[in-house]
Amino acid sequence: MTNTTYQDLAQTPDLDAASTFADYPVWTHTLALPPQPLMGSTGTYELPIFLLVGHSWAQVVSHFTKPGSTILDIGCGCGKTARFLTNNQHIARYVGFDVLKLSIDWTRHYLSPATQGRFEFHHADLRNEMYNPHGTIQACDYRFPVADGSVDLAFAASLFTHLLERDCRHYLRETARVLKAGGRTIISVHMEPAPGTRYSGTEARIDVEIEFFVELAAGAGLKLIERPGDLCGQEILVFERVA
């Protein structure tokens, strides 16, 4: 039986917010690399893939970023995408949140100081069987840590691929709540639900019929405006908040 991410991290109790990949030093004016177990919590233990996926997502996010933007990273992990956005001067404010406290501690230790406060990271103590089984908050009750109508662009890289349907519906509503009128969100999904279903899986992996996901988003006030296709093995969709 495959371990959960929570179990994998629990097997490395010496990890802390100051740990780095293979004990590489942090050179002046560079960003630290997360330790391998923490990096693995984002989906890969391979450094080249970690960097490739983060860089690819950052390029897509940057494509939709305008000067002075506030960006919300829904499920930021240990900053796989954020690290490539730190030098994007169009970003006036970045807010990321994640269920793994160690990831947030690490990003606060290494990434926030490098941005002079433009990038902030929040821990969401959400109950999730894969990532945080002892969490105190249900995902369907969580309120994103930003104000109504304050975000220009939100993105969720491989986050909805782990949300049960009721939690997915709530996250779509929360995304619409925080976006400015005309604000956009980029979301990735797996699109191979079990035969005869439109939405299936566990928190380890969720698959959804694309048309059904678009319906769910529309019900939350989000309109599909672009379907760029595959990005690193997942289908990405771009929505705009209906005014």
What pLDDT, on the 0 to 100 scale, is given for residue 12? 79
* Type of residue at 38: L
At 207, which helix (H) or strand (E)?
Answer: strand 205-208
Contact 156, 128 (CB under 8 A): no
* Type of residue at 150: S
CA 195/CA 192 separation, integer angstroms: 8
In this predicted structure, the answer to whether residue 13 has a pLDDT above a threshold of 80 is no
What pLDDT, on the 0 to 100 scale, is given for residue 1? 47
Question: What is the number of residues in the chain?
Answer: 243
User: Could you tell me the domains of the chain?
Assistant: 5-241 (3.40.50.150)
> Taking Cα atoms as reference points, which of 11, 61, 1 lies closest to residue 35?
11
Tell me what the pLDDT averaged over the chain comes to: 95
Burial of 23 (0-12, 13-18, 19+ CB in 10 A): exposed
**Residue 240 pLDDT class (50, 70, 90 cuts):** very high
Contact 83, 105 (CB under 8 A): no
> Taking Cα atoms as reference points, which of 129, 236, 234 lies closest to residue 187?
236
Name the pTM for this structure: 0.95
The pairing of beta strand 91-98 with beta strand 119-123:
parallel
In this predicted structure, the answer to whether residue 2 has a pLDDT above a threshold of 70 is no
In this predicted structure, the answer to whether residue 218 has a pLDDT above a threshold of 80 is yes
pLDDT tens profile 27-50? 999 999 999 999 999 999 999 999
pLDDT tens profile 56-76? 999 999 999 999 999 999 999
pLDDT tens profile 98-146? 999 999 999 999 999 999 999 999 999 999 888 899 999 999 999 999 9
Contact 58, 32 (CB under 8 A): no
